[in-house]
A = this chain, B = another copy of it.
């Protein structure tokens, strides 16, 4: 899945480039749209208080984006285990085809506020059924 991003002033810093933290907002926007594509229903998550939680982020900054750049975040779901899964992201600048950022994120579904990690439903992520069991697996 590809998500377009326009670089705004608030994404940049005094070094004249996009700030390292801003890319993680771009990635979160892409991840949210990816989740919607898989049928994840945020309304029911709010009702059940089961939320996707990031366990680990690995991000490599290769080349900086600039104010006004149009970027593209490519995102997909990778490895899935009993309670965790990985999302992968590549941020390109289509105008010169440069790869700016590589990112991997490991996630789980967690019951809030108690923090219980939920088992992933059989066959996750397709078709996606929000986890409802409250087995602690961590």
Contacts and interface: CB of A to CB of B under 8 A. Distances in A.
Chain A facing B: main interface SS: mixed
Contact of A13 (B12, B20, B57): B12
Interface string A28-41: 11001100000000
Contact of A61 (B28, B42, B53): B53
Given A20-B57, A55-B60, A67 B6 contact: no
Quick one: copies of this chain in the complex?
4
Interface residues of A, number: 41
Contacts of A15: 9, 49, 51, 53, 112
Nearest to A105: B20
Interface of A: 6, 8-10, 12-17, 19-21, 24-25, 28-29, 32-33, 42-43, 46, 49, 51, 53-61, 63-64, 66-68, 112-113, 115
